[in-house]
Structure 1
Amino acid sequence: MKFKVTVVGAGFVGATTAQRVFETGYADVVLVDIVEGKPQGIALDMLESGPVIGTDAQINGANTYEDTADSDVVVVTAGLPRKPGMSRDDLLLTNMKIVGSVTEEVAKYSPNAILIVVSNPLDAMVQHAYKVSGFPKERVIGMAGILDTARFRTFLSQELGASVTNVSAYVLGGHGDTMVPLIGSTTVGGVPVAKLIEANRLEEIVQRTRDGGAEIVALLKTGSAYYAPSAAVAQMVEAVLLDRKEILPCAAFLEGEYGINGLYAGVPVKLGAKGIEEIIEVELTDPEAAALQASADSVQELVDIMAKA
């Protein structure tokens, strides 16, 4: 029996995520969007690629949620994208309403699903989805840390002329200006990165990682990143559906871990069939711990604004 995955939002991130999952062949996909005809057209186009890529998976588009019933995983990408000059936080109240209404529908039709939230500002949106859904914390997860870590690993790989597969790193904290690349535990071929790159240059790479999304927004001018974000989501979906028990940095609801309580933040987790099956506490340096707390404080500010809305 194939798995069933729903992707809400047929923009670039959602459509590319749907394509990546469809092409694996292990899940049927439903692509949902409010624009009439858009998800249907995209889904039909992807379906017709099946004979070429060799998959018998099914994909269909919908404007309502009936077809999404009993999904194993639901990915929420719905919301307004960033435009040049906008921060992720500028989207807060608008996307809060969108994510809230989507989550209500998801919870209604797929009460046992694992919910992966991608909409920005990420940490606040996944916190809101958790509240609205009523799902247990293990089944509401935010995608950010995999993407931020992939950017960090990419830049380190380019700097050193080493394969990305030899770069081991984590980026924790909120998905934004306060994200925390863990320099102390980053290695390239097993060698601490601080021994390979001078401190000033390393800080420049860290800053580029924090600005990674904004750099792409500025270049595109009329859109935001979607190839790397969709790849990150697909990795999470696969870890859940295939019960990989994979250790990945994701936004998880913390209840005392890392000294953070009652808040979503990016940390390493074990991702499997039950969703977040364990929160992994890695050793932080004092500056890293302080930076993670500052990042959590920034997320808390957004959560407080939503609470008053």
Structure 2
Amino acid sequence: MKTRKVGVIGLGHVGAHVMYSLAVQGIADEIVLVDQNEAKVKSECQDLFDAVAYLPHRVKVSVGDFPDLGDCDVIVNSTGKIDLLRGNHNRVTEMDFTIPAVRGYVEKIKASGFSGVLVNITNPCDIVTRELAMGLGLPKGRVFGTGTGLDTARLISTLARQTGIDHKSITAYMLGEHGNAQIAAWSAVSFRGRSLDDWAATGDPRFQFDREALQKESIGAGWATFTGKFCTEYAIATTAARMVHIVLHDEKQIMPASAELCGEYGESGIYVGVPCVIGKDGVEEVVELPLSAEEKAAFHNCCEEVRHNMEHLKEI
């Protein structure tokens, strides 16, 4: 039976929780950890190794280097410097650290012979995902980011609290930048097949809410987490682990991810968060939602914001 091997680059707050989620959920049979902080990565490896005896399945964990990633099925990139976000609420601030970091090792990943799927967490997610995809030169879709996958989960959780409907019965999407410019696709929100607009038309007070305020609350949820402990860990790690599971099992699940647009939604040349069919080859299809004219305009403005932020790449 084939061993499912996953590499994790960057063992900070998020990377360590990705490692733990992959192990505890039995998603990976083998996990290779790569980080420039030798003491930290060895400690994380030892901590997980000590936990393996009480897991209901076998997991092999080891400290490695970039050449050891060549035969991985999936790599999760989670390099970052979260302290840069203290005092501001803009993920783009991390660019001055994350872009040079990624540029410093993307050729090493390529040289390892890696031909699997890479899931990127590192912020700014959309811009870093594009940088990794260009550097690795893998087939389209093999490199994608968590993007608005976590933001969508936040929107669904907020809708569940607002309406009292279980989150598993809600379909909703956040689109665009994994950042402050993202938008909620309200026309695509449904509760087991019945649209939000239909529910609102019934006069049910649960669905009579300020959509702009709820969108703002969903966008700000990550910062609410950050404010108290100066990092986010569990939710983003769970999002990444879920994506890895989808790839390894070729589930063909529709999930928001930061993916390359080549004409979809009228946009090209950028990576942004959109619903995608994800399978063994990564993003296998971008799903185009039937957005309203207002939503299309808002999505375009969001894409323009990402393009504006990409201009900073010329200065790094």
TM-score range relative to shorter protein: over 0.9
Distance 1:198 1:99 in 2: 45
Q: Which of 193, 201, 207 is the aligned partner of 1:197?
A: 207
Q: Which of 228, 240, 248 is the aligned partner of 1:219?
A: 228
Could you list the per-position Cα deviations for residues 63-105 of structure 1 after superposition, in whole angstroms to 9, with x for gaps in the alignment?
x323323111111100211323241011112211112223222
Q: Which amino acid aligns with 2:36?
A: I
- Equivalent residue for 1:135? 138
Q: Which 10-residue stretch deviates more, 186-195 or 120-129?
A: 186-195
Equivalences for 1:158-307 in 2 at 5 Å?
158-194=161-197, 195=200, 196-200=206-210, 202-220=211-229, 223-307=230-314
**Are positions 1:96 and 2:99 aligned together?**
yes
Q: Which 10-residue stretch deviates more, 45-54 or 185-194?
A: 185-194
Deviation at 1:276, TM superposition (A): 1.2
Could you list the per-position Cα deviations for residues 168-199 of structure 1 after superposition, in whole angstroms to 9, with x for gaps in the alignment?
11111110111121111112344433414224
Distance 2:193 2:276 in 1: 22
Q: Which amino acid aligns with 2:268?
A: N
On the 8 A contact 1:173/1:266 being kept in 2, the answer is: yes
- Equivalent residue for 2:152? 149
Deviation at 1:110, TM superposition (A): 4.0
On the 8 A contact 2:12/2:80 being kept in 1, the answer is: no
Deviation at 1:158, TM superposition (A): 1.2
Quick one: structure 1 residues 102 and 83, their matched pair in 2 at CA, closer, same or farther if it must change by over 3 Å?
farther
On the 8 A contact 1:88/1:176 being kept in 2, the answer is: yes
- Equivalent residue for 1:53? 55
Aligned residues: 305
Give the TM-score, by structure 2 length: 0.92
Q: Which amino acid aligns with 1:209?
A: S
Deviation at 1:13, TM superposition (A): 0.6
- Equivalent residue for 2:16? 15
Distance 1:219 1:286 in 2: 38
Q: Which amino acid aligns with 2:3?
A: K
On the 8 A contact 1:79/1:99 being kept in 2, the answer is: no
Deviation at 1:289, TM superposition (A): 0.7
% same residue? 27
Distance 1:111 1:167 in 2: 37
Quick one: structure 1 residues 110 and 159, their matched pair in 2 at CA, closer, same or farther if it must change by over 3 Å?
farther
Runs of 4+ in 1 over 6 A off after TM superposition: none
Could you list the per-position Cα deviations for residues 88-140 of structure 1 after superposition, in whole angstroms to 9, with x for gaps in the alignment?
01111221111222322222214302111111111111111112222222111
Distance 2:113 2:24 in 1: 23
Distance 1:286 1:32 in 2: 45
On the 8 A contact 1:173/1:292 being kept in 2, the answer is: yes
Distance 1:11 1:17 in 2: 10
Distance 1:23 1:47 in 2: 11
- Equivalent residue for 1:73? 74
Long gaps (5+) in structure 1: none
Q: Which amino acid aligns with 2:214?
A: I
Give the TM-score, by structure 1 length: 0.94
Q: Which amino acid aligns with 1:226?
A: E
How much is the aligned-residue C-alpha RMSD, in angstroms? 1.5
Could you list the per-position Cα deviations for residues 135-170 of structure 1 after superposition, in whole angstroms to 9, with x for gaps in the alignment?
222111011221001000111111222211111111
Long gaps (5+) in structure 2: 201-205
Deviation at 1:257, TM superposition (A): 0.6
Q: Which amino acid aligns with 2:111?
A: K
Distance 1:254 1:90 in 2: 24
Could you list the per-position Cα deviations for residues 38-59 of structure 1 after superposition, in whole angstroms to 9, with x for gaps in the alignment?
1122122112212212121101
